[in-house]
Chains A and B, each alone.
Chain A
Amino acid sequence: MTTMALRNTATLAWRTLVQIKHNPFELFDFSVQPIMFLLLFTYVFGGAIADTPGEYLTYALPGIIVQNLLFATLNTGVGLNTDISKGVFDRLRSLPIARFSPLAGRIVADVIKQAWAVTLLLVLGMVLGFRIETGPVQVLAVFGLLLGFAFAASWMSVLVAMLVSEPEKVQIFGFVLLFPITFASGAFVDPDTMPDWLRTFADVNPTTILADATRGLLSGGPVAGPVTRSLLWAAGFLVVFAPLSVRAFRRRI
């Protein structure tokens, strides 16, 4: 039963990844778009916010990675909702496969895509002048932390996907929620420059905390505090949204 579940999950993850080949938009979504954001922030805003684009990149790259990561969690929900509304789920569920493998396959594939996007941004950032001041262990820790956080946060989009009727609504909901959360944070600017009320929000915002943790692990600086708080946030997302999503999943299909 378990080997079957693992094999089913692997097959369905393969299926999600192979889709990229046929859908250039998806490639745009998680390759071109992050690159665009990176270039935009570095060269358009960089000089104005910091003294030089290069200096700004050192601050902003972790933030850009985190913002992209959070937006990409929407893919899980959009993909699931599309499968349900197009009838692909019905076909899968009429097969003698492990019950949760369609969900698990999607999540595994999305974590792989996230790993790709983080790598892409990091490598491109380094080409543009970002320097990793720490070591390979910290870089591995960054990947572990970011992917774990993405996994936990994606349950929110799974829940939304189970509750709305069309994939577009998952997008809309996600954008409305994620724009303020990712921008009203320390991802792109130091929250100390914000008005008090906004700074208070930015300080507890998981975007700020995860960006700080990433910054600490890549550039040096405080690590223990932000990493611990990131993990607490991730645990919070998981504990709240995973059970609700699984329940909604059972009910929906």
Chain B
Amino acid sequence: MSAPPGTVSGMDTTYAIRAEGLVKRFGDTTALDGVDLAVRPGTVLGLLGPNGAGKTTAVRVLATLIRPDAGHAEVGGFDVVRQPHEVRELIGLTGQYASVDETLNGAENLLMIGRLLGLSRRAARARAAELLERFELTDAAKRAAGKYSGGMRRRLDLAASLVGDPRILYLDEPTTGLDPRSRNEVWDIVRGLVTGGTTVLLTTQYLDEADQLAGEIVVIDHGRVIATGTPAQLKARTGAQTVTVRPAFADELHRVRDAVGRVATGPVDVAGEVVTAPVSDPGALAKLVRDLDEHGLSVAELALRSPSLDEVFLSLTGGHS
């Protein structure tokens, strides 16, 4: 994907977003402790971390809402501290903290932003109608945003951040608290934007979400970057997926454990009547099923799952996260 048009000449635009050594303290708490980030134009960077890791603080610095105590950040070649106005002309912000006005209806929210961005009344109205249509909110246009469902609210939030057609979009936990269907809708919208050339910085607590959307992931914890890589690289670093088997008959528990042990890449754990073990071979599950079948063992439950964010963290932080 190439850089979107409108690139400012004379600026370093190799990266849409570049941050070096960002530090931000709130009283005794160090929210950012030397964070480096680089996002190439037209790509999605996933900023992954648990609550309180510093994700939102990083976004707020990059969106010019707060000044870093140390370090340096450029967005579209503009310094976030010295040229905040220029940065604001490039970005759209949406997520947990930047919100729509609940007392205005959907159309009014978008109209207000269009007017603030300097569109004429007619142009602002047209832009609002276009975005409402695109995000399937036309029927709810006249309803107060406070009465929207979670998914609609998030779509309106996204629409609001897109009124000015930003080249760079910050999505701060865009799907936290959404049901799976609404989450998928948001994901589709983000994919569409990236296809159109928008650069996206996405924060999330969910590895799954970063996996779905981001080309590259930065994992942060306690305000520090603890890992960087593609989703596949990160998963590989955490190693195994986990297989879980519950035998149909309790007296076969030991034999099931032995079968699992033959495909496991780590210690087999038996808790109650459930056997779990890490596996890394993609064919492990098929192999296990054949093995169980050959030994005449029947199971009540059999599952293979990817590492959860917890496990990625435990692995990346050596267990002391």
Residues of B within 8 A of A4 (CB): 118
Digitize A39-76: 1 where CB-to-B-CB distance is under 8 Å, 0 elsewhere.
00000000000000000000000000000000000000
Q: Is the CB of A95 within 8 A of B103?
A: no
Q: Is the CB of A93 within 8 A of B118?
A: no
Q: Given A90-B93, A90-B99, A96-B88: A11 and B115 within 8 A (CB)?
A: yes
Interface residues of A in 98-134 (CB under 8 A from B): none
Give A253 to B99 CA distance when docked, in angstroms.
15
Q: Is the CB of B88 within 8 A of A90?
A: no
CB distance from B25 to the nearest CB of A (A): 15
Chain A residue with the shortest CB-CB distance to B163 = A95
Q: Given A91-B160, A94-B64, A95-B117: A19 and B93 within 8 A (CB)?
A: no
CB distance from A87 to the nearest CB of B (A): 3
Residues of B within 8 A of A15 (CB): 101, 104, 108, 112
- Give the A-B pair count, Cβ closer than 8 A: 73
Interface size bracket, B side: 20 to 34
Digitize A75-92: 1 where CB-to-B-CB distance is under 8 Å, 0 elsewhere.
000000000001110111
CB distance from A124 to the nearest CB of B (A): 27
Is B137 on the interface with A (CB-CB < 8 A)? Answer: no
Give A86 to B98 CA distance when docked, in angstroms.
8
- Label chain A's interface by main secondary structure: helix
Is B63 on the interface with A (CB-CB < 8 A)? Answer: yes
Interface residues of B in 181-240 (CB under 8 A from A): none
Is B44 on the interface with A (CB-CB < 8 A)? Answer: no
Give A193 to B101 CA distance when docked, in angstroms.
49
**Chain B: residues with CB nearer than 8 A to chain A?**
60, 63-65, 85-86, 88-89, 91-93, 96-105, 108, 112-113, 115-118, 144, 160-161, 164
**Chain A: residues with CB nearer than 8 A to chain B?**
4, 7-8, 11-12, 14-15, 18-19, 22-23, 86-88, 90-97, 253
- CB<8 Å pairs between A and B, sample of 16: A7-B118, A11-B116, A19-B104, A22-B104, A22-B105, A88-B101, A90-B63, A91-B98, A92-B116, A93-B64, A94-B65, A94-B91, A94-B92, A95-B88, A95-B116, A96-B89
